[in-house]
Amino acid sequence: MTKKTQTSPKTRTAAKTRAKAKPKAKAKPPRRKAPTRYAGMTGAQVFHEMLLAEGVETVFGIPGGVLLPIFDVLYDTPMQFVLTRHEQGAAHMADGYARSTGKVGVCLATSGPGATNLVTGLATAHMDSVPIVAVTGQVVSSLIGNDAFQEADTTGITRPVTKHNVLVRRAEDLGRAIREAFHIARTGRPGPVLVDIAKDATMAVLDREPDLAIDLPGYRPTATGHMRQIRAAAAAINAAERPVLYVGGGVIIAEASDALRAVAAKGRIPVTTTLTAMGAFDETSPLALQMLGMHGAAAANYAVQGCDCLIAVGARFDDRVTGKIETFAPHAKIIHVDIDPASISKNVVVDIPVVGDARDIMEKMLPLIKARRRSAWAEQIAKWKARFPLRYGGGGKVKPQHVIETLGRLTDHGAIVATGVGQHQMWAAQFYGWRRPRQFVTSGGLGTMGFGLPAAIGAQFGHPGQTVVDIDGDGSFAMTMTELFTAVRYDQPVKVVVMDNDYLGMVRQWQEMFYGRRYSASEHPCPDLVMLAESLGAKGMRVTESSEVPDAVAEMLRAEGPVVLAAAIDPEENVFPMVAAGKSLDEMDMGRLV
Amino acid sequence: MKHVITALVQNKPGVLAHVAGMFSARGFNIDSLVVGRTENADLSRMTIVVIGDDRTVEQVRKQLGKLINVVRVRDFQDIEFVERDLMLVRVAVTPQRRAEIVELANTFRGKVVDVAKQSLTVELSGPEDKLEAFIELVRPYGIRELARTGVIAMQRGDQNSARAAAPAGSQTQ
C-alpha cells in the first residue's frame, strides 16, 4: 500500500512554521511607468529599471557582499525575488522558467563562489540554447585582479559556457549592457548571457543621461530563410519517396510546431523528435515516430536509416542522435534548417542548408510542398511501429515506465514535466506521451544531473496553478534536493517522482552491459525520502507495489503543496532499445522483450 | 592547408580572450594571430593563420562569426591578397664574416638594425616563405634570437577587405 509519513507531527509543524516565516508572494502591482530620466540614479537603480523595462517578473538568486547595493533596490521591487538555496538552483530555475514560458530567465549571484556555482547552470542552458540573463556581482573595479576577497575571473570562467559575457566597470555602461544582454539572449540562436558588474558601478550616481542604445555591430543573426534554398529543399522533399522530418529543440524555440505539423500532414512525412523536442509534434498523430537516437523508438531509428530524404529542423546531429556518424541516414539527401550557420555541416555534410528561423522557413515551405500520400512508406513505418513498440515487462515490482505512463494518463498528458538525467529521463521521454511544445523540460546537451527539481520549480513560477512534475532519479535528485525547501517556502506545488533504485542507474546499466556487471561506484543507497521531504515541510509518499502505482500517483497529484513520491522501482530495470556508443542506429539492442 | 583569415573586431576589453578561447575550446590550430589597430578607432583587425582542411576552416570562419564582438570575417582563400610578416633576427657572426650577412640581408631587401661584437641583427619583412628562406640561409652561422610578428594581410585592388566581407553571423549559401 501507499505508505504515508511516519514523521512526528511536531517535526512537521516546526518545518511548516519555518516555511511560513516569510512574507507571502506579493500581489502583482500595477505596471510602473518607465522613468524619463536616469541621471541622478545609482547604477543599481538603473539596473533595476532595465529589468522592469524588459518585463522581468521573477528573479532567482542569492545575495552577497558585492550585491548589497542591488539588493537594497530589490527590497522595494515589484518583481518577485526568489531566494534559492544554491546558485546552481537559481540558474536551473531560470532555465526551467525560460524553457517552459519562452521568456528570458533571470538569475543573480554574488562574486567568486556565487558566480562559480552558476557555471553548471549556464553550461546546461548554453548547450540547449536557453535564453538566460545571469547577473553576477564583481569586486570593486580598483581591486579587480588583486585576488580580492570573493574575487573570481567570472567572465574568464564563463566565456565558453555562455553565448556572450561582459564585465561592467562603470555605472554609465550598466544600462546598455543589460539591454544588450537581453537582446543577445533572446534573439538568433538563444543562449545564456552573463553580465558581471563591479560593485562600484552599482553604487555610483549617474551625473548625466547614459547612452542606452544597443550597439552591437557584430551581431546580426539571420532570421529569414533564403527563398532559393527553401525552393531547393521543397523540390528535394517532393521528389522523395521516403522522407523523414528529424526535429530538434529549435522547433520549440522558434514556435514552429504548427508550421511543422502542416508540412508533415501535407506531404505525409513522418516526424521524429530529439530529446529536447519532445512535444514539438503530438505523439497521437499517426505520423509520429517518437524519439530517435541511442534510446529512441525502433521505428524512428529504422525510418531514419531507411529514408531517402532527411529534413533536419532545429537539430544539430548530436552523437546521441546519430550513433555512428559514417552510417547515419546512409541513403538520404540531407536538408538542414537551422538558425545557426555554424551548426550546418559541422557533424554531417549537408546537401541543402537553409539558414534562418525554423517557423519562417517552414511557413514559406508549406505552399511549395506537394500533397502526397506516400502509402508504401506509411505502410512500412506502420509495420515497424507494430513490430517494435516501446514496451516494458510486468510483475510485482514497480516498473518506472508504468509510473510514467500512469502520470501521463492522470495528467491528461498536459503537465509540464522536468527531469534529471539518466534512465528515468529516457523513460520519461519514451513513455509520458507528449502533446504540446514547452511541456518537457530536460537537460539534453550537457546532461546535467540535478537539473530536474530546480527546473520544475522555475517552470512552476512561470505557470502558477498548472501541474508541474519533476520525474527524477535518486541520483539526480540527491544533487539539488536542497531546493525542495525553496518550493515549500514559496508555496510552489511541484510534484516530484523519484525513481528510487539505489543505483546510479544509467551507469549501472552500462556496467551491466559492457563491463561484466562490475558495479563500480554505481551503488547509491538512497536516504529515506519520505522523512527527508517531511523535514523540509513537503509531503512525503512512497510506493513499493506495482498495483499501488495508480492510487499513489493520483494522491500525489491531488495534494496541494509540494510532494515527493519515492517509487521503489525494479532496481535492475534497463532502458531499451539501446544503440551502443559507436554503433549504427539500426543496430539496436531491443532488450528481453522482443 | 594554410588559410589566412581576417576578422574585424570591436576594440573592447576581452575580445582577444573570446577569440583565443574559442580556438582552444574547439581544437582549432592557430599558426599565428595578430591583433592591431585599423583606420577606425572602434575596430581592431585580427589576422589569423589557420592550418586545416576546408571543412575545418569553414567551421573556424563560422564560429568566429558567431562571437558577438566580431564584426566581419574574411577568408582569403580564392582571392588575391598581399601578406606580410615582419622579423627581427640576431645572427651570430664574427667581425670577419659580417659582410656575408649584410650581403644576404641586402639580397632579401632586409635592413641591418644593430651591430655588436659577435652578432648582427637584421630586420626583414615579406611573405612567410621569403622569411623562411632567409632563416635557412643564416642558420649555419647560428641564430641567437628570432622574433616574428605573424602575418597581416590585405586584399589587392580597390576594394577594402572588410567591406567586401560578409557580415559576421550571416550565411553565404
Q: Do A228 and B63 touch (CB under 8 A)?
A: no
Task: Answer yes or no: is pLDDT of A419 > 90.
Answer: yes
Residue B120 included in any domain: yes
Are residues B129 and B61 part of one domain?
no
3 state DSSP class of A558: helix
Are residues A118 and A147 part of one domain?
yes
Are residues A404 and A382 part of one domain?
no
Are residues A337 and A267 part of one domain?
yes
Are residues A235 and A191 part of one domain?
no
Are residues B74 and B6 part of one domain?
yes
| pTM of the predicted protein model | 0.93
**Which of A187, A203, A219 lies at the terminal end of a domain, its last residue?**
A203
Chain A residues with beta carbon closer than 8 angstroms to that of B69: 218
CA–CA separation, A161 vs A330, rounded Å? 33
| Min Cα–Cα distance to chain B from A470, Å | 33
The structural domain count of chain B equals 2
Residue B173 included in any domain: no
Phi-psi region of A467 (alpha: psi -120 to 50; beta: other; left: phi over 0): beta
Are residues A364 and A411 part of one domain?
no
Are residues B62 and B132 part of one domain?
no
Are residues B143 and B106 part of one domain?
yes
Task: Answer yes or no: is pLDDT of A12 > 50.
Answer: no
Residue pLDDT, tens place only, A514-565:
999 999 999 999 999 999 999 999 999 999 999 999 999 999 999 999 999 9
Residue A31 confidence class, pLDDT cut points 50, 70, 90:
low
CA–CA separation, A440 vs A408, rounded Å? 12
Interface test with chain B among A126, A161, A346, A361, by most B beta carbons within 10 Å: A346
Chain A residues with beta carbon closer than 8 angstroms to that of B173: 226, 228-229, 353-355
Residue pLDDT, tens place only, A88-98:
999 999 999 99
Residue A424 confidence class, pLDDT cut points 50, 70, 90:
very high
The secondary element (H helix, E strand) that includes residue A100 is helix A87-101
Are residues A182 and A271 part of one domain?
no
**What pLDDT, on a 0 to 100 scale, did the predictor assign at position A404?**
98
Percent of chain B exceeding pLDDT 90 equals: 79
Residue A582 included in any domain: no
Residue A23 confidence class, pLDDT cut points 50, 70, 90:
very low
Residue B11 included in any domain: yes
**What pLDDT, on a 0 to 100 scale, did the predictor assign at position A594?**
52
For A348, name the nearest residue in chain B, comparing CA atoms only: B55
Residue B77 confidence class, pLDDT cut points 50, 70, 90:
confident
Percent of chain A exceeding pLDDT 70 equals: 94
Contact B76, B47 (CB under 8 A): no
Are residues B64 and B35 part of one domain?
yes
Residue A29 confidence class, pLDDT cut points 50, 70, 90:
low
Are residues B76 and B142 part of one domain?
no
Are residues A458 and A362 part of one domain?
no
- Mean pLDDT across A371-380: 97
Q: Do A341 and B62 touch (CB under 8 A)?
A: yes
Which DSSP state fits A343? G
Are residues B75 and B6 part of one domain?
yes
Supply the DSSP string of B100-153, one letter for each residue.
Answer: HHHHHHHHTT-EEEEE-SSEEEEEEEE-HHHHHHHHHHHGGG-EEEEEE---EE
Supply the DSSP string of A36-58, one letter for each residue.
Answer: S--TTSBHHHHHHHHHHHTT--E
Are residues A299 and A261 part of one domain?
yes
- Burial class of residue A319, CB neighbours in 10 A (0-12, 13-18, 19+): middle
> Which residues constitute the domain of residue B51?
2-80+157-164
Residue B20 included in any domain: yes
- Mean pLDDT across A164-193: 97
Task: Answer yes or no: is pLDDT of A18 > 70.
Answer: no
CB neighbours of residue B112 within 10 Å = 15
Residue B67 included in any domain: yes
CB neighbours of residue A463 within 10 Å = 17
Summary count for chain B: helices (H), strands (E): 5, 9
Residue A122: closest CA among A66, A75, A165: A165
* Residue A374 belongs to domain with CATH number: 3.40.50.1220
Find residues 403-432 of chain A whose CB sits inside 8 Å of chain B: none
- Mean pLDDT across B141-163: 88
**What pLDDT, on a 0 to 100 scale, did the predictor assign at position A28?**
57
Task: Answer yes or no: is pLDDT of A318 > 60.
Answer: yes
Q: Which residues of A are catalytic?
A: 87, 149-150, 199, 506
Lowest mean pLDDT among A281-295, B52-66, B108-122, B124-138: B52-66
- Mean pLDDT across B99-106: 96
| Min Cα–Cα distance to chain B from A307, Å | 25
Residue B170 included in any domain: no
Average pLDDT, chain A: 94
Are residues A414 and A350 part of one domain?
no
Are residues A148 and A73 part of one domain?
yes
- Mean pLDDT across A109-129: 98
* Residue B105 belongs to domain with CATH number: 3.30.70.1150
| Min Cα–Cα distance to chain B from A147, Å | 19
Chain A residues with beta carbon closer than 8 angstroms to that of B57: none
Interface test with chain B among A168, A196, A220, by most B beta carbons within 10 Å: A220
The secondary element (H helix, E strand) that includes residue A335 is strand A333-338
Are residues A251 and A142 part of one domain?
no
Chain A residues with beta carbon closer than 8 angstroms to that of B46: none
Are residues B19 and B67 part of one domain?
yes
Residue A215 included in any domain: no
Interface A-B: count of C-beta contacts within 8 A: 65
Q: Do B169 and A216 touch (CB under 8 A)?
A: no
Are residues A289 and A254 part of one domain?
yes
The structural domain count of chain A equals 3
User: Which pairing describes strands A271-273 and A243-247: parallel, antiparallel, or unpaired?
Assistant: parallel
Task: Answer yes or no: is pLDDT of B169 > 80.
Answer: no
* Residue A159 belongs to domain with CATH number: 3.40.50.970
Residue A486 included in any domain: yes
Residue A16 included in any domain: no
> Which residues constitute the domain of residue A461?
400-576
Task: Answer yes or no: is pLDDT of A84 > 70.
Answer: yes
Are residues B114 and B101 part of one domain?
yes
* Residue B25 belongs to domain with CATH number: 3.30.70.260
**Which of A203, A238, A267 lies at the terminal end of a domain, its last residue?**
A203
Contact A110, A168 (CB under 8 A): no
Task: Answer yes or no: is pLDDT of B172 > 90.
Answer: no
Residue B143 included in any domain: yes
CA–CA separation, A294 vs A585, rounded Å? 7
Are residues B61 and B101 part of one domain?
no
Are residues B100 and B45 part of one domain?
no
Instruction: Map grid coordinates 514560458 to a residue.
Output: A101
**What pLDDT, on a 0 to 100 scale, did the predictor assign at position A3?**
42
CA–CA separation, A227 vs A232, rounded Å? 9
Residue pLDDT, tens place only, A32-42:
778 889 999 99
Interface test with chain B among A168, A179, A219, by most B beta carbons within 10 Å: A219
**What pLDDT, on a 0 to 100 scale, did the predictor assign at position A6?**
41
Cell of A365: 515551405
Q: Do B59 and A346 touch (CB under 8 A)?
A: yes
Q: State whether residue B65 sits within 8 Å of chain A by CB.
A: yes
Find residues 158-177 of chain A whose CB sits inside 8 Å of chain B: 159-160, 163-164, 166-167
Residue B169 included in any domain: no
Are residues B116 and B144 part of one domain?
yes
